[in-house]
């Protein structure tokens, strides 16, 4: 009995000691910096280190590549086509000794690696903006013959907005578009907005870059009185607008612009979006009139109800009350 | 000298009060500290650099003024001198925080599938971005689920007959007589207007034919935004037996 117990104990200890940790096939990768903005003259070169970290529990085989893009949506998400090509892709290279573009490399679990990106712009390069995304993808594994289902691959990226120019700030052409109130109590008559003076109002706006170079959206959203006295000032979230594209504008917290008028904000006001950067200036204003819209509606409704009640009571036949003998 | 000096008591009182007030102002009101960066030390001297004295979001007490700024950044001098500028202003400090993407499971194994009885599997996508400008996660498949012969496939779902779905427009798929492969999204930073509930599905776009479809997105910073992808497979009894496989790629890119 004692022997059996000791043997069982040995077996249990052996099992505990030899048990290996098992992990589901998961993925986790980080990249830094997620955005690179470069202004460079033809004939110059730079290097930039991108740090990637394997946040997963297993080693990963990865592939680094660069994909050009020329379009983006209203929120700054590039429209990527992995098959796209551009002659300027040859300006980029990896200075790592072990890692090359489009060739697999292994990143151990928990390890970090530096991708040393070099950008060498030839003297003869065109003066233009070039946009690309550095992609790091999991290498496609061959699936087992008994596996029925989907093998998931992951790609992470970092955007690069590069201006090749002889000037630090080549001119560009920004225009504020679709600037209007979107939420709140308001009435539009012609180009004039009548806003309720006690309700918060939200404004929406986009900016269009009709120029050939990237512009920034640094500036202010402000509300001024008829005598041009500012009553509200808010910063615009500084984001990039690539050439020939447009972007939604937000305040510095990433929300639509919002103004909560106080009771003394009555009368004509001007709501303005002003962008002033090193290579672009633009301004758009809308004329608004704050007045107690809800209070007025409430008052009119109350007066109407009172008048109606008075009319109804005055029309009630007197004799039905005064001459009970008619019954 | 002072014999002819006549003091008006009223004026004298005004002068006295003014003097006391000025004395009080100059001695009691705190003078804000002037900050400067010393670019020298016994061992080094920086002759050209971008030094940010201050920066970030600022607002007044009533909240009617909210601005972000960068003070001290130089640009023109560096560009003319070196021929390049790599943007790293204090206002852009967020761009130095890593962007990360995690997937809880890379192998979506359906195992043996019974015709007419839908099988579902799921994994979780998690995004953290230090970037203030948001992100998007897009999805695309290499081809529909298919046998190793390369021709026999399980079609991507088109959802219920009465409620057809598209690659960018989810719709109800609850009829067990409708066969195919599709996915549903739930959780953070998904399009809840499209994936209304757990019965709403979409087919995956196909590589080299379609554009990748956005499955998660946010215009702003995200910390551990997590969304569950539910993969659904339902096959017809006439479907040829075998191991059907494909590959789905999730592409996570920060906004700029």
pLDDT of the residue at B133: 75
Quick: pLDDT tens for A164-186: 999 888 988 999 999 999 988 88
Name every chain B residue with its beta carbon within 8 A of the beta carbon of A83.
208
Interval A73-77 mean pLDDT: 92
- Which residues in chain B have their CB less than 8 angstroms from residue A32's CB? 96-99, 130
Q: Which fold has domain A174-294?
A: Immunoglobulin-like (2.60.40)
The CA distance from B236 to A114, in Å, is: 49
Rounded CA gap, A269 and A292, in Å?
A: 14
**Contact between chains at A254 and B220 (C-beta distance less than 8 A):** yes
pLDDT band, very low/low/confident/very high, at A269 (cuts 50, 70, 90): very high
**Closest Cα in chain A, distance from residue B100 (Å):** 4
- DSSP assignments along A56-109, one per residue: SSS-EEEEEEEEE---B-TTS-B---TT---GGGGGEEE--SS--TTSEEEE-T
Over residues A25-54, the mean pLDDT reads 92
Q: How far apart are the first and last CA of chain A?
A: 112
Whether A229 and chain B come into contact, CB under 8 Å, resolves to no
Taking the Cβ of residue B51 and every Cβ of chain A, the question of whether any pair is shorter than 8 Å is answered with: no
Q: Say yes or no: ipTM exceeds 0.85.
A: no
Q: In this complex, do B103 and A78 lie within 8 Å of one another by their Cβ atoms?
A: no
Say if the Cβ atoms of A148 and B123 lie within 8 Å.
Answer: no
Which pLDDT band holds residue A156 (cuts at 50, 70, 90)?
A: very high
Q: Is the pLDDT of residue B120 over 90?
A: yes
> B34 or A286: whose pLDDT is higher?
A286
pLDDT at residue B183, as a whole number: 98
pLDDT band at B136 (very low <50, low <70, confident <90, very high): very high
The band of B129, judged by pLDDT with boundaries at 50, 70 and 90, is: confident
A22 part of contact set with chain B, CB < 8 Å: no
pLDDT tens by residue, B187-198 = 999 999 999 999
pLDDT at A129: 96
Residues of A in contact with B130 (CB under 8 A): 32, 34
Query: Is pLDDT at B34 greater than 80 in this prediction?
Result: no
Residue in chain A closest to B210 (alpha carbons) equals A81
- CB of B223 within 8 Å of a chain A CB? The answer is no
- What Cα–Cα distance (Å) separates residue A174 from each residue in A180, A242, A252, A277, A285? 18, 10, 19, 10, 15
Judged against a pLDDT cut of 90, whether residue A140 lies above it is answered with no
| pLDDT above 60 (res A16) | no
Nearest to B103 among A37, A152, A220 (CB): A152
CA proximity to A265, closest of A177, A184, A178: A184
Q: How far are the Cα atoms of A105, A122, A180, A181, A205 from residue A191, in angstroms, in the given order?
A: 60, 51, 10, 12, 16
Q: Please report the sign of the dihedral spanned by the C-alpha atoms of residue B88, residue B90, residue B91, residue B96.
A: positive
Q: Could you give the residue range(s) of every CATH 2.60.40 domain in chain B?
A: 99-254
Average pLDDT, chain A: 87
Q: What is the pLDDT of residues B202-247, one digit of tens each?
A: 999 999 999 999 999 998 888 899 999 999 999 999 999 999 999 9
2.60.40, 2.40.50, 2.40.10, 3.40.50: CATH of B99-254:
2.60.40
The yes-or-no verdict on residue A248 having pLDDT over 80 is yes
Q: How many CB pairs under 8 A join A and B?
A: 242
Distance from CA of A11 to the nearest CA of B (A): 33
Q: What percent of chain A has pLDDT over 70?
A: 87
Contact with chain A for residue B216, Cβ under 8 A: no
* Residue B26: predicted pLDDT: 56
pLDDT > 80? residue B50: no
Percent of chain A topping pLDDT 90: 57
Bigger pLDDT: A235 vs B8: A235
Contact B211/A at CB under 8 A:
yes
Chain B CB contacts of A28 under 8 Å are: 100-103
- State the nearest Cα–Cα gap between A259 and chain B, in angstroms: 9
Q: Is B171 on the interface with A (CB under 8 A)?
A: no
CATH architecture of A24-140+154-164: Sandwich (2.60)
Task: Flag if A154 and B250 touch (Cβ within 8 Å).
Answer: yes
How confident is the model over A178-207, as pLDDT tens digits? 999 998 888 888 888 998 888 899 999 999
Which range is least confidently modeled, A104-113, B30-39, B59-68? Answer: B30-39
List of residues 6+ apart from B186 with CB closer than 8 A: B195, B198, B227, B228, B230
Note the pTM of the prediction, 2 decimals: 0.77
Q: Per this entry, what is the length of chain B?
A: 256
User: Is any Cβ of chain B less than 8 angstroms from the Cβ of A43?
Assistant: yes
Per-residue confidence band for A7, with pLDDT thresholds at 50, 70 and 90: low
> Taking a C-beta distance cutoff of 8 angstroms, is the pair A173, A210 a contact?
yes
Interchain CB contact of A159 with B (< 8 Å): yes
* Alpha-carbon gap: A55 to the closest alpha carbon of chain B (Å): 8
Residues 267-326 of A with CB under 8 A from B: 278
Q: Hey, do A24-140+154-164 and A174-294 end up sharing a CATH topology, with the first three levels equal?
A: yes
Domain ranges in chain A are 24-140+154-164, 174-294
Give the N- to C-terminal CA distance of chain B in Å, as an integer: 77
The residue in chain B having the minimum alpha-carbon distance to the alpha carbon of residue A37 is: B87
Q: Are strands A201-209 and A245-248 parallel, antiparallel or unpaired?
A: antiparallel
């Amino acid at each position: 009995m004692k022997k059996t117990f000791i043997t069982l104990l040995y077996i249990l200890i052996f099992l505990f000691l030899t048990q290996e940790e098992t992990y589901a096939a998961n993925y986790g990768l980080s990249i830094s910096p997620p955005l690179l903005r470069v202004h460079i003259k033809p004939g110059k070169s730079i290097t930039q280190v991108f740090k990637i970290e394997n946040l997963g529990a297993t080693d990963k085989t990865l592939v680094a590549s660069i994909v050009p893009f020329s379009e983006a949506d209203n929120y700054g998400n590039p429209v990527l086509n992995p098959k796209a090509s551009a002659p300027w892709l040859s300006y980029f290279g990896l200075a790592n000794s072990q890692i090359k573009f489009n060739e697999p490399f292994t990143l151990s679990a928990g390890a970090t690696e530096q991708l040393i990106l070099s950008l060498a712009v030839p003297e003869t390069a065109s003066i233009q903006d070039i946009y690309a995304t550095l992609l790091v993808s999991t290498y496609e594994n061959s699936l087992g013959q008994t596996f029925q289902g989907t093998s998931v691959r992951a790609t992470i990226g970092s955007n690069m907005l590069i201006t090749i120019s002889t000037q630090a700030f080549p001119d560009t052409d920004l225009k504020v578009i679709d600037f209007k109130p979107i939420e709140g109590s308001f009435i539009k008559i012609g180009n004039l907005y009548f806003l309720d003076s006690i309700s918060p109002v939200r404004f929406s706006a986009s900016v269009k870059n009709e120029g050939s170079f990237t512009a920034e959206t640094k500036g202010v959203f402000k509300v001024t009185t008829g005598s041009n006295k500012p009553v509200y000032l808010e910063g615009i979230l500084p984001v990039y607008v690539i050439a020939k594209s447009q972007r939604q504008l937000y305040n510095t917290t990433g929300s639509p612009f919002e103004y909560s008028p106080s009771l003394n904000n009555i009368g004509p006001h001007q709501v303005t979006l002003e962008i002033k950067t090193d290579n672009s200036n633009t301004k758009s204003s809308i004329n608004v009139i704050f007045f107690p819209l809800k209070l007025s509606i409430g008052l009119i409704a109350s007066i109407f109800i009172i008048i109606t009640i008075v009319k109804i009571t005055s029309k009630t036949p007197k004799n039905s009350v005064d001459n009970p003998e008619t019954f | 000298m002072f014999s002819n000096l006549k003091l008006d008591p009223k004026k004298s009182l005004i002068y006295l009060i003014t003097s006391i007030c000025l004395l009080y102002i100059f001695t009691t009101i705190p003078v804000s500290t002037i900050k400067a960066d010393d670019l020298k030390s016994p061992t080094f001297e920086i002759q050209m650099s971008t030094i940010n004295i201050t920066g970030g979001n600022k607002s007044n007490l009533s909240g009617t003024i909210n601005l972000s700024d960068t003070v001290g950044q130089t640009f023109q001098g560096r560009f003319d001198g070196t021929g390049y500028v790599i943007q790293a202003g204090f206002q852009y400090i967020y761009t130095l925080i890593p962007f990360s993407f995690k997937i809880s499971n890379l192998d979506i194994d359906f195992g043996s599938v019974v015709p007419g009885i839908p099988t579902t599997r799921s994994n979780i996508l998690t995004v953290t971005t230090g970037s203030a400008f948001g992100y998007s996660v897009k999805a695309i498949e290499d081809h529909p689920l298919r046998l190793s012969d390369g021709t026999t496939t399980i079609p991507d779902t088109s959802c219920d007959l009465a409620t057809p779905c598209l690659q960018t427009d989810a719709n109800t798929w609850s009829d067990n007589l409708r066969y195919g492969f599709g996915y549903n999204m739930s959780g953070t930073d998904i399009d809840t207007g499209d994936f209304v509930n757990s019965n709403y599905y979409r087919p995956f776009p196909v590589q080299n034919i379609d554009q990748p479809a956005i499955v998660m997105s946010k215009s702003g910073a995200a910390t551990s935004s997590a969304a569950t992808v539910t993969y659904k497979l339902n096959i017809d009894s006439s479907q040829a037996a075998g191991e059907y496989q494909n590959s789905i790629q999730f592409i996570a890119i920060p906004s700029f």
